[in-house]
Amino acid sequence: MEKLAVVKKKEEKKCDLKMQIDQYYSVEFSVNGPSVPHQFKLWNIPPTPMCLLVKEDSDVLRGLKVGDTVKMKYYPADSAFPSDYLDTAIRHIGKNDQVRFKNHYLVGLEIVEGQEQRSTH
């Protein structure tokens, strides 16, 4: 009975991640204090369901660590909706081995549940 509950919970989490990926197009955030914000397109590059592509020599990459939680401004795929400020955990940082994205790292993201705040600006 418990095994079925674990499988169902994993399926629900995958569904939630898919909805997040489809709902948002890009994110904006600052690292290392209040500085110029950086904006990145959200990607779904398996095995990382929601990630950023960051150049290997970027200041952003040096300012992020796995386990960090960063307040990010999420821009919706549909511009008729307002942006959202969401606490986001950095789950993975790794070199991308695809030729198409040579010299980039994948930064895996996960929106921390229960922290959603709607923006009105």
CATH code for the domain of 31 = 2.40.10
Helix, strand, coil share of the chain (percent; to 5) = 25, 40, 35
What are 89-110's pLDDT values in tens digits? 999 999 877 778 889 999 999 9
pTM: 0.75
Question: For the chain, how many structural domains are there in total?
Answer: 1
What are 5-45's pLDDT values in tens digits? 443 444 444 445 455 567 899 999 998 766 789 999 999 88
CA distance 63 to 32: 6
**β-bridge partners, 117:** 85
Q: Domain residues for 42?
A: 2-118
Residue 14, CA distances (Å) to 9, 10, 34 in order: 9, 6, 33
